Amino acid sequence: MFDRLKKSMLEGAKSAVRSYNEGRFEMDAESRQAFDRLELDYESDITAIKRRYKELSKRYHPDSGISPETERFLSIKNSYDVLRSAYKEKATNKDMND
C-alpha cells in the first residue's frame, strides 16, 4: 500500500513540474525581467501592461518634474517595448496557425 501511494505521489509531482514548465513561465528571461520591472504578474494581458506603462511613465518621465530618473524611465520604456513586441509576435503566430 505504501509503495502504491509513493508511486502515485511521484507521478503527480512529475506532472506538476511538467505543467509548471509548459505553463506561464515558459518565456524568455528578457520578458520575465520586463514583467518584473513593470511590477506585473506574468499572466498580465496587454491592456494591463499598457495601463501600468502609462502609470510608471507619468511618474518617471524626465519632463514631469516629479522625479527626473531618466534611467528608470528608459528601463520602463524598454520593458514595455519588449512585452509589446512579444504579444504582437504571439498574436501573429496564432493567426498563422489558425
Q: What is the pLDDT of residue 59?
A: 87
Q: Is residue 91 part of a domain?
A: yes
Amino acid at 70: T
CATH of the domain at 86: 1.10.287.110
Question: What are the pLDDT digits (tens) for 14-61?
Answer: 544 434 444 445 678 888 899 999 999 888 899 999 999 999 988 888
Count how many domains the chain has.
1
Q: Residue 66: inside a domain, yes or no?
A: yes
Residue 36 within a domain = yes
Record the cell numbers describing residue 76, joined without a space. 520602463
46: exposed, middle or buried (Cβ count in 10 Å: 0-12, 13-18, 19+):
middle
Answer with the residue of higher pLDDT: 10 or 30. 30
Instruction: Supply the range of the domain harboring residue 90.
Output: 28-97
Give a yes or no: residue 57 inside a domain: yes
Structural domain includes residue 49:
yes
Q: Is residue 92 included in any domain, yes or no?
A: yes
